[in-house]
Amino acid sequence: MTQTHTSSVGTAPNDPAGGGAALSDAARNGAAQPSVLSLAGLPYFPIAFIARLPFAMMVVGVLTVAVSARGSLSLGGLTSAFVGVGTAVVGPLLGAAADRFGQRRVLLLIAPVNSVLLLVFCAVVYSQASPALLLLAAFGIGATAPQVAPMSRSRLVTLIAERMAPARRPKALSATMSYESAADEMVFVFGPFLVGILASALTPWAPLAIAAALSAVFVIAFALHPTGRAVSAARSEDGSAPSSARELFRPVLLTVVVGIFGVGLFFGSVLTSLTSFMADLGESERAGLFYGIMGIGSAVLALGMAWLPARFSLRARWLTFGLLLLGGSLLLANATALAAVVVALALMGTGVGPVLVTLYGLGADRSPLGRSATVMTMLGSGVIVGQSLAAAGTGQVAEALGTGTALWAPVCAASVVVLAGAANWFLTGHADTAEASATRASAARVSVAADE
């Protein structure tokens, strides 16, 4: 496990994300301690939630408008995949930049650029521009995608680690990870659903135009929120520098990245194969509605993870809920009637939300000192890259081999999650115990570089 140091910097309860005042002795002993809600402030949560939507709308939005404008499903799938490639290549670098220069500076730079590129893509896709230029514009969208979800996790865990008494941190960290994963679940379900509604009711390019507006307004609001000045834990009390970048490539951390990439594959393959199934029934526009069955159950279970007993370790949760995900996928692959699809989606929903909570918890646990925003961005990028690649690949399979074959794509994705969980089990031995979880929660390992 990466060595970490506890930060000595905190703020008073009535100074949400402000900066600097040390915790009193009484507060250190757990008396009159603030909640995460009071530390961040109530407005933070709706701002951070809406600011995630552009990220969740990009892949499906690009796919929708590209297919509509160019009349090619293969080009549309390739274009959406390039959004994921851009995120994969540049996303972790944005996290590293946030660790080094602060979230605020990074977000204020990329949010307006991303908004402009979304609008440029709309213009390019309806022009006579070559497919190469279209792919380049899609890559730019992914490369400048605001990494709000991982940065939000980084901020909140920083507040917990630096401004709560050690005795309160484990419960607060668990509840925060549960909320953040539930928010991701809702966004990744509602985002594609919103794209479908807007494209049908208005025009195919409307979702990207609205995503551009949301990015310009809410991502910038998220950047300017007082939590953006969260105290940096990049240097410990003894003045040591952040961990080496080599620490990001430790097997126990890369296993988590592979697992969450599998979750992204699962999101993309389920939505695309479900769309193909509903299209065969002549009701393709209802695919997002049925997809929501999985998302709602998943969000509820994700929120409930905070109340699971500590003895149910993270490594065991990964495998347990991953197997539920695999079981639901197998049921979906063999479904021939809509009722069976509904049951399969509900079962998968009991697995995917808890798996996400677990993986982000492990990511926080294994983040090298001073590299938390980088790690969280790696995980967030893993989801969007997996989603975009699976959406493109599953669409090709459905078009070439039919819906029956495409429905096996979620099984493959769930298998990636389970196999990564099995690898994690053997790599970690008995390291992931309740005691290790408590140590994780009490250590300040998150760095959000202070904005001057």
The pTM for the full model equals 0.70
DSSP letter for 238, please: T
One-letter identity of residue 369: L
Sequence-distant (≥ 6) Cβ neighbours of residue 381 within 8 angstroms: 87, 88, 91, 92, 147
Which element (helix H / strand E) includes 50? helix 44-70
Q: Which residues contact 295 (CB under 8 A, 6 or more apart)?
A: 185, 186, 188, 189, 190, 349
Instruction: Give the residue from 104, 136, 102 showing the smallest Cα distance to 120.
Output: 136
What is residue 281's three-state secondary structure?
Answer: coil
**Whole-number pLDDT of residue 434:** 40
Q: What is the pLDDT of residue 182?
A: 74
Per-residue b/e over 353-373, b at no fewer than 16 CB within 10 Å?
bbbbbbbbbbbbbbbbbbbbb
Which residue stretches of 305-368 are H helix?
314-333, 338-366
Helix (H) or strand (E) holding 210: helix 206-214
Among residues 391, 50, 64, 58, which one has the least CA distance to residue 205?
A: 64
pLDDT of the residue at 233: 39
17's CB contacts (< 8 A; 6+ apart) are 11, 39, 40, 41, 155, 159, 225, 226, 227, 228, 229, 230
Q: What confidence score (pLDDT) does residue 66 get?
A: 85
Q: At 343, list the tokens.
A: 């049951």
Contact 364, 446 (CB under 8 A): yes
Q: Residue 15 carries which DSSP code? A: S
Cβ atoms 397, 408 nearer than 8 A: no
Which pLDDT score, from 0 to 100, does residue 430 have? 56
Count the Cβ atoms, other than its own, within 10 Å of residue 188. Answer: 32
List the chain domain ranges.
42-232+243-442
CATH number for the domain formed by residue range(s) 42-232+243-442: 1.20.1250.20
pLDDT of residue 309: 78
pLDDT at position 56 is 79
CA distances to 123, 236, 449 from 160, in Å: 44, 16, 16
pLDDT (0 to 100) of residue 417: 96
Ranges of the chain with pLDDT below 50: 1-31, 231-240, 432-452
157/367 Cα distance (integer angstroms): 12
